[in-house]
Structures are given as C-alpha cells and as structure tokens.
Amino acid sequence: MKKSSVEDIRSRFDKDVERFSNLDTGQVATVDAVISLEMITDAAKALQPNAKKILDLGCGAGNYTLKLLSKMGNLDCTLIDLSGPMLERAKQRVAEKTLGKIEVIQGDIREIELPKEKFDVIMAGAVLHHLREEEEWELVFTKLYDSLNQGGGLYISDLILQESPRITDLVWDKYRAYLASIGGNDYAEKVLAYIELEDSPRSINFQLNLMQKVGFTTTEVFHKNLCFGAFGGIK
C-alpha cells in the first residue's frame, strides 16, 4: 500500500487541533498515553535536572512541553511540527506556562537543519513512526544526537513493532480488541486503517540500537504496553 504523503499527514493534523489539545481526547487510541507522558517527563527531570533548553519534536498542541514545564519550571522551548495550526496552539499554551524563549519551526524534521549542541532535552511524542526508510531513521537520529548538549537526553513515546512477526500479530490483535473496547469495532477498524496508511513504525530494539550506533552512551526503556513504548537515550 502506498503510504500517505507529508502533505496528507499535515492536512489531517491541521484539522485536528482541538482534539489534540486535550490529552484525554487526542491520545485515546494510544495505550497508556498518560503513563508514558509521565515517565518521559519524570525521566527528563531526573536525568537533566538543570535543563534550560528543550526541543519538542512533533509537538502537536504542546502537551509534552506543558507537562515538562509543570515539573521543571521556566525553560526555553523550541517547538517543531508539520502543522501550522498545531504550532499556533502549542505556542499559545506554552507561553502561558514559561517565561523562557519560545521558538516555533514548521516543517519536516528530515528537512529542517537543527543547531548543534543546543538542547538539554529533546522529546519526540508519536512522531518518529512517520519515518519511512532506514536511511531516514538514521538521518533523523543523527540529527537529534548532534543537536543535544553533552549529557542531554532524547525521550521518545511512540507506536512500535515487535521483533517477531508472530508476536507483532499477537500484539496487534490485542490492540484491536483494546480499540474495540473503547469505541466499538468500527472505531477499531478506522484507527487501524489510518495507521496502515500513514505509519511505518519500528521496534524498540531497532531504535535503541540506532541510538547506540549514532553515539548515545546510555539507552533506557521506561514503559511498554502492547504496540506502544516510551524509551530514550543519553548523549
């Protein structure tokens, strides 16, 4: 199946700002979204307690940055997203919670040039699964690594595959049942259809191994449930 283009994905998110402005509605299809958000931001606070500058990649309406600000106070925040309306909402919400500088960048991370050694924390929530070929994954992970200060952390919460195709099938059958339990069979098929159309996730092992390849010294898994995981690496 031909995957959605960047423009297709941007268009869908442009129309979904209100839903994604609320974690309860924007992430209802994500198993343990609240737990992953708490774990990632708690880990960033524990491992980069003196952080000053953060990057929220695929920031959406700003939920990850807002959660981190609630735990760490004023930070300089760089927000990146494909969607202009999402960025506008994120900037508005984040400006109410920090006295730090706010920079917004609209675009595709594969094309954006990031500054070297600028950020203490980079968060990527439900965004990297849009990457396609292995070369793109390595390009982006290298770019994020280079943009971190020494000792900085990359924190990812995302849709994932398993290493074994049979276990992937088992996990996704359970995910289908989870979706049906919250929205019925039609809702489950709708969610799975747009995942098939838009997304190309990789396993946690693939991503942790790639982190180590590009230079991260420490990697951790913070949480996993079915086809969703929260994990990261320290430069």
Split at pLDDT 50, 70, 90, the class of 12 is confident
Query: Mean pLDDT over all residues of the chain?
Result: 94
pTM of the predicted structure, to 2 decimals: 0.95
Q: What Å distances lie between residue 37 and 14, 55, 194, 214, CA to CA? A: 23, 15, 23, 25
Tokens found for residue 49: 């307690």
Digit-coded pLDDT (tens) for 49-100: 999 999 999 999 999 999 999 999 999 999 999 999 999 999 999 999 999 9
- Percent of the chain past pLDDT 90, that is, above it, reads 87
Q: What span, in angstroms and rounded, lies between the C-alpha atoms of 144 and 139? A: 9
The Cα–Cα gap between 66 and 98 comes to 9
pLDDT at 215: 98
Alpha carbon distance 179, 199 (integer Å): 17
pLDDT digits (tens, 9 = 90+) for 147-194: 999 999 999 999 999 999 999 999 999 999 999 999 999 999 999 998
Sequence ranges of the domains in the chain: 6-162+200-234
d(CA 202, CA 130): 10
Given its phi and psi angles, is residue 126 left (phi above 0), alpha (psi -120 to 50 degrees) or beta?
left
**6-162+200-234 in CATH: which number?**
3.40.50.150
Contacts of 213 (CB under 8 A, 6+ apart): 138, 141
Asked if pLDDT for residue 131 goes beyond 90, the answer is yes
pLDDT of residue 26: 66
* Mean pLDDT, residues 1-10 taken together: 82
